[in-house]
Structures are given as C-alpha cells and as structure tokens.
Amino acid sequence: MSETADQLLTTKDGKPLKAALAKALRRDKLRALALIAPLLIFVLLTFVAPIVDMLFRSVENDIVSETLPRTVIELQDWDAESGVVPGDATYNALHYDLMIAAEKKKHTQLGTRLNYEETGISSAFRKTGRRVDDFGEGYTDQFVALNEAWEAPATWVDLLASPDWVKSQATWAAGDQKATAEPSFVINDTARKALPQTSEIYGAFARTIQVEDQDSPTEEEPWNAVYSALYEDLTANPAAADAFSGANEALLSEAAAAVATFTPVDIKALFVKADKDWGEPSIWQTIKTFAPAYTSGYFLNSVDAQLTADGVQMKPEDERIYLFLFGRTLMLSMAITISCLLLGYPIAFLLAHLPLRTSNLLMILVLLPFWTSLLVRTSAWKVLLQQQGVINDFLVWIGVISDAGRLVMINNQTGTIIAMTHILLPFMILPLFSVMKTISPNYVRAAKSLGATNWTAFWRVYFPQSVPGIGAGAVLAFILSIGYYITPELVGGTSGIFISNRIAYHISSSLNWGLAAALGTMLLAAVMILFLVYDRIVGIDNVKLG
C-alpha cells in the first residue's frame, strides 16, 4: 500500500470520497442543466446560430466554383495579369458550364454575385444565358446533315446509356409512369472512357431535363452543347469508335471520319457577340479572383477596399462610403449617449431622491416613450422639428428667429440625435435610477459634515458611486443606438444615417447578403473592441443595473 492510497479519503463502504461527492453532485448539476436547457436551446437557436450563419455568409463564395466548375479549372493555368483573354479551351468550358447553369437558372444568380465586384457582369451573364443554347448549333446541323440518326434521341441513349439503366427505364415505362419518377440516367463505362466530354455534358443534360422538366432523355433531342462536345471528343480521339460495337461503332466511325471536314464553330466569337465584355480580360480576372469557395471580398468591400487581380486595393475615392459611415455611426452614437447622459442624470437623480409615490408617478412619464410605437414617435418629431413645424413656428412667433432663418433641425444629424436621444433616454435613466437608489443619503451628509460644499460632496462622493449606473446606461444606449436604423432613416436625411441603414439596404433591397453580413460582423467587432476598451478604462464589473 502506498502512502497516497492510505491518505485517500473513502466513504464508509470504501468508495473514494471524491467520486462519491461527484456522484452526489451530478444529480444536482443535471437538474440545474435541465432548468436552463430551454433558455440555452433558445439562445443557441435564435442568437448564436444566426450569428454564426452571418459570419459564415460573409466569407462564403462557393457559387462561382459550383456554377462554373470547368471554367474555374481551366482558369487556374491562365495568367490573370497577362492582359490577354484565356484560350479557346476556357471558352469551351464556359460554354458547357453556362449551358448547364442556364438550364438550372443559376447563371443570373452568379451574374448578380459577380456584379457586386465588377459592374456589367450581371447583364453579360443574362444576355449570354439567353443565347448559349444556340452556341453549338453549328455542330448539330453538321452532325445531322451527316446522318439523320444523330437527331433521334434513341441514338444517343443507345450510344451512352448503361444497359442497366435501359432495362430499369423500360420497366418503368411499362408501368404507371406517374407513380414514380423515371430512374436517374446512367452513362455506360465505354462511353465514359471513349467520349469523356460528351458523356459528361449528355449526363448533365439528362439529369437536368429529368429533374427540372420531368422529361425523359429517351424523348428529347440533346442540347447543342452535346454535339459540340462530341465534336471535340472525336477530334481529340478519332479512334473513339473502336471502343463501341455494331451500329454505334459504324455511326461513330462515320462521324469521326467526317469531323475533320466540319466547319469549326468559333465559340469565343459567339461569346463576344453575345456580350462584348467576354472579349476583355477583366471579366475573366474577376471570375478567377472570386473562384475560391471562400472570399475576403465582402470584408474588403465593407472597408472600402476591393480584391482585384493585382491584390487588395482601395476603391476609387467616389465609391468609398463604409469606413466613413462606421466612423459617423460611432461618433453619432457617442453624441447620443452623451446627450442621454446629460439629460438623464439629473432626472434619475431627482427620481431617486423623491418620495416613492412621486417618483413612481414620474417614472411612468419616463417610461411613456416605451408605450408608443416607434413610428408614431418619430412622426411626432417630424411634426415638431421640421422647418414649418411647431418649434420653428413658435420661435418665429416669439421673434427669436426670422421667417427666412428657420432652423433646420430634421433630416440631418441634429434630427437623428434629438429623436434617438428621446428614444434611448429611458435606457439611460433606468440603470442610473436603480444605482442611485442604492446610494445612501448618508454619504453626502457625511461629506458635508466633513466640510465639503454641495458641489464637492456631489462630485467627489456621490458621482463616483453613480458611475456604475452611468456605465450600464451608456453601454446600453450606445449599443442600442449603433444598431438603430429606422429612426435615422426617417429623420436623419443624408447626413444622419448610420451604417445599419446600409446593412438594411443590402439585406432587403440589393440582396447582397454577403456584404450585409460582413458589415454586420464589422459592427459586432467594433462593439466588442469598444467593450474591451471600456473594460480596460472603467472595468466591466463597474457596470450595475441596480
């Protein structure tokens, strides 16, 4: 027996005391966990999850590589700074990608996404998407002219479908077709090896018409792009027919012999014809720059920078707005917080020192703003503050200002500060009040009895003790005001709007959620940094709500 074993405390029946204690406490812990579980789950679902989602959205960018997989691979070898457009292979890849995307109606989404980075891409994708269907038509015509069999859907199925699929499709066709969906099309192995491009594009065609249109490949003529893929396969591998047998071999041999004499279709020219931007390197640079599945683009955008082929650059002067708005948001929020404090402190002081009955009555008046709708209050401010409004009318009437010199108090920063101060005042008063309530009047009396004047007693004894309330109120008012956007939108004009207004715009109007998420994340980070600074200077434990 070692010494430690001797010292190990045990219960009467010999179990280690620590284990017994842990066991006894476990039930309590579990019960405590069960009690907070509903809140925990609620917070996770409604607070943590959206924030994580937002953080994710601000960097998510897989739409490019998902919509244009072949193009993205081709562009890897292209030198974005070469100043020339990529080679024909890239145009061919884009032809296939865009064909599939257009059928799935994904190309406009991608266009919208890339248009955030370069103006004009949206219409390039939309215009090209409308025409991409016809790009391979030249090959289709030549194949069909060569042999009409190429027009028949059955030819293609026979050539490319796996025998298993043919069987299961036949069974399905014989039965009740409405009861189940047609079996998903499968390419045979021979075709996959001998005609790789054709198999791939035809496979995409078959899947698309099956899923999107509920059509069957046995009845539909393939896209023109399939013919152009076949042309490329046969040009690259004239012996492809050898892998097949029977009628297919004959058909392919004939085609393989003929493709050399076909008139090639200039896919690149067709792209440039659809939209002249395809002839410029810049659109390709943008696609290549934003090909990775994750991007810093949104964050760069949110600090007025952009990702270009040459790396990160600041945006042109006349498009910089976000940093400025961040700065203004912080400044105005501070101004609002300070004016809340200046107005709220004396009121809270008064409330805390009145008899209970009177202070309760006054407290109701303080809380009154909570009970009126935000829009009503904001509209009321408009009526009061506008140039033909109540306050200006009164000032003109008593002769303080002339009719021509009416004050501009709304649709600018003044309006925002006034209205927001009004709205946030209770959030300042309540914590101040509850902290002041706990400060015994004896402190001030003691200070006075020790020889302090009223002011000294207040400033050196009362005020420091009310600082936790100021801290809580200021943090509340500041954070709330940073996130407000309705009131600034309505009374702030152009000089009184906040960064949140741009976030709301991108969420609800431009649908640029990635940028909105990045801006939101920046705002969150700014608040957290301010919090840390506050903690450093004042100390977070110096914040008291009562």
The residues binding other proteins (CB under 8 A) are 105-106, 108-109, 111-112, 115-116, 119-123, 126, 315, 318-321, 324-325, 328, 386-389, 411, 440, 442-443, 445-454, 456-457, 460-461, 464-465, 489-490, 493-495, 497, 502, 507-513
- Tokens describing residue 301: 């955008």
Q: Which of 493, 476, 492, 502 minimizes the C-alpha distance to 325?
A: 502
- Angle (CA) 84-77-234 rounded to 5° is 95
Q: In this complex, which beta carbon is closest to other proteins, that of residue 301 or of residue 339?
A: 301
CB of 319 to other proteins, least distance (A): 5
CB of 460 to other proteins, least distance (A): 7
CB of 331 to other proteins, least distance (A): 13
Residue corresponding to tokens 């079996």:
183
Q: In this complex, which beta carbon is closest to other proteins, that of residue 107 or of residue 422?
A: 107
CB-based burial of residue 328 (10 Å sphere; 0-12 exposed, 13-18 middle, 19+ buried)? middle
- Tokens describing residue 476: 């509340």
CB of 502 to other proteins, least distance (A): 7
Q: Which of 18, 56, 116, 6 minimizes the C-alpha distance to 520?
A: 56
List, in order, residues 6 or more apart from 452 with CB less than 8 Å away.
460, 461
Q: In this complex, which beta carbon is closest to other proteins, that of residue 230 or of residue 439?
A: 439
CB of 320 to other proteins, least distance (A): 6
- Tokens describing residue 303: 């600090």
CB of 521 to other proteins, least distance (A): 18
CB of 45 to other proteins, least distance (A): 13
- Tokens describing residue 523: 């705002």
User: Rounded CA gap, 140 and 260, in Å?
Assistant: 15
Question: Residues, the chain, total?
Answer: 546
List, in order, residues 6 or more apart from 475 with CB less than 8 Å away.
531, 534, 543
User: Rounded CA gap, 491 and 413, in Å?
Assistant: 8
Strands (E), 166-205: none
Q: In this complex, which beta carbon is closest to other proteins, that of residue 109 or of residue 237?
A: 109
Helix crossing, 88-104 with 107-115: angle to 10°?
110
Q: In this complex, which beta carbon is closest to other proteins, that of residue 427 or of residue 513?
A: 513
Q: In this complex, which beta carbon is closest to other proteins, that of residue 195 or of residue 307?
A: 307
CB of 426 to other proteins, least distance (A): 27
CB of 464 to other proteins, least distance (A): 4
Q: In this complex, which beta carbon is closest to other proteins, that of residue 85 or of residue 325?
A: 325
Residue corresponding to tokens 């496979």:
203
CB of 356 to other proteins, least distance (A): 15
Q: In this complex, which beta carbon is closest to other proteins, that of residue 35 or of residue 48?
A: 48
Q: Which of 397, 445, 389 minimizes the C-alpha distance to 415?
A: 389
User: Rounded CA gap, 490 and 493, in Å?
Assistant: 7
Q: In this complex, which beta carbon is closest to other proteins, that of residue 13 or of residue 176?
A: 176
Q: How far is CA 476 from the centre of its chain?
A: 26
User: Rounded CA gap, 74 and 87, in Å?
Assistant: 9
Q: In this complex, which beta carbon is closest to other proteins, that of residue 439 or of residue 475?
A: 439
Letter string b/e over residues 390-416, b meaning 16 or more CB atoms within 10 A of that residue's CB: ebbeeebeeeeeeeeebeebbbbbbbb
User: Rounded CA gap, 504 and 517, in Å?
Assistant: 10
Its sign, for the CA torsion 329, 330, 331, 336, is positive
CB of 406 to other proteins, least distance (A): 10
Question: Backbone dihedral region of 222: left (phi > 0), alpha (psi from -120 to 50 degrees) or beta?
Answer: beta
Residues 163 and 200 sit within 8 Å (Cβ to Cβ): no
User: Rounded CA gap, 401 and 395, in Å?
Assistant: 6
Q: In this complex, which beta carbon is closest to other proteins, that of residue 226 or of residue 417?
A: 417
User: Rounded CA gap, 210 and 486, in Å?
Assistant: 47
Q: In this complex, which beta carbon is closest to other proteins, that of residue 18 or of residue 445?
A: 445
- Tokens describing residue 121: 């891409």
Q: In this complex, which beta carbon is closest to other proteins, that of residue 119 or of residue 261?
A: 119
Q: In this complex, which beta carbon is closest to other proteins, that of residue 325 or of residue 472?
A: 325
CB of 534 to other proteins, least distance (A): 18
User: Rounded CA gap, 428 and 348, in Å?
Assistant: 9
CB of 186 to other proteins, least distance (A): 27
CB of 519 to other proteins, least distance (A): 13
